[in-house]
Amino acid sequence: MQDKVGIFNERMLEQVTPGSSAKELLEKIVRSALEVEFGSEFTLNPGFAKMVSKIADSLVTNPELRRQALSVASTFITKKMEINRSAAQAVRSKKTEPAKKAPVKVDPRFFSPNIPLNL
């Protein structure tokens, strides 16, 4: 089983998107951290969404915490974009590789060793 940090990293890479607002990014960080720490069952509690929103609001309104949290989000967005770029390059390189041709088999009956070839 992966460690909690590895699971958190995977969750963040799945969830972050470059077009998200600061509040959305902070909610994704909080949601991921709580889910990894307390389990996915914890996220099913009726007050979970409200709690995530309250914590994200606190992070947004505190300049230092906001800067730190958005720096974390930025790191994941950058990493996700690099992964997507690498995957796109791999797909493009596969498309541009020339197709390998099967070796041509020559029937020896069509060539006579007695006829000179003018090359």
- Which tokens hold the place of 119? 């090359």
pLDDT at position 1, please? Answer: 52
Which residue, among 52, 18, 26, has the nearest Cα to 38 in the 3D structure?
A: 52
The pTM assigned to this predicted structure is 0.69
- Confidence (pLDDT) at 84: 86
pLDDT surpassing 60 at residue 11: yes
Q: Is the pLDDT of residue 105 over 90?
A: no
- Average pLDDT value for residue range 11-37: 92
Contacting residues for 106 by C-beta, under 8 A, at least 6 apart: none
pLDDT digits (tens, 9 = 90+) for 62-83: 999 999 999 999 999 999 999 8
Q: What's residue 44's pLDDT?
A: 92
pLDDT(94) > 90: no
Can you list the positions of beta strands (E) in the chain?
Answer: none
For 49, 52, 102, the CA distances from 46, given in Å and listed in that order, are: 7, 11, 63
Q: Where are the domains of the chain?
A: 4-96
